[in-house]
Structure formats: C-alpha cells, structure tokens
Amino acid sequence: MPIYQKYILRYILEYIKTDMKLKDKNLRKLLKIGKTSLAVTLPIEMTNALKWREKQKVVVKRVRGGLMIKDWKR
C-alpha cells in the first residue's frame, strides 16, 4: 500500500472517531434533583456559542417531540 493511502486511511479513521465522540457528547441523561425535579446538563460548546452563563434565566417550552430551551427575555 502506498504511503499516501495510509495517510488517507488514518485521516478517515480519525475523522470517524471524532464524529462518534461528538455524537456521544450530545447524548445526555436526566438527573434527579430533589423530589419533584429533573435536570439535564448542556454541552459547554453550545452554551458558549449562545453566550449563556451560569444562573441565567431560560424558558422551557414543550414542543412536538420534545422540549425547546430559549433565552428568557423581559
């Protein structure tokens, strides 16, 4: 096998591993907080991109098939 094919194969395998890690990163579990609440952690990359900070108010709305989390505005 020529050397450039080995580099291409290595690059493809590394790309697949990275892609799988990102998919796993977005998979989250619900955590029980107290007796009546559940929480979910958000990926730091997403919160940084939205410029969200700790203790920031957000609105949680039920939509078809899931939940939508939006920044709270007055």
Q: Is the pTM of this model over 0.75?
A: no
pLDDT tens digits, 31-58? 999 899 999 988 888 888 899 999 999 9
Residue pLDDT, tens place only, 11-26: 777 766 666 565 667 7
**Domain ranges across the chain:** 1-29, 42-74
CA-nearest of 66, 47, 49 to 58 is 47
Residue 63: both structure tokens together: 């939509």
| 64 within 8 A of 71, measured Cβ to Cβ | no
Q: Does residue 8 sit in helix, strand or coil?
A: helix
8 Å CB contact between 40 and 28: yes
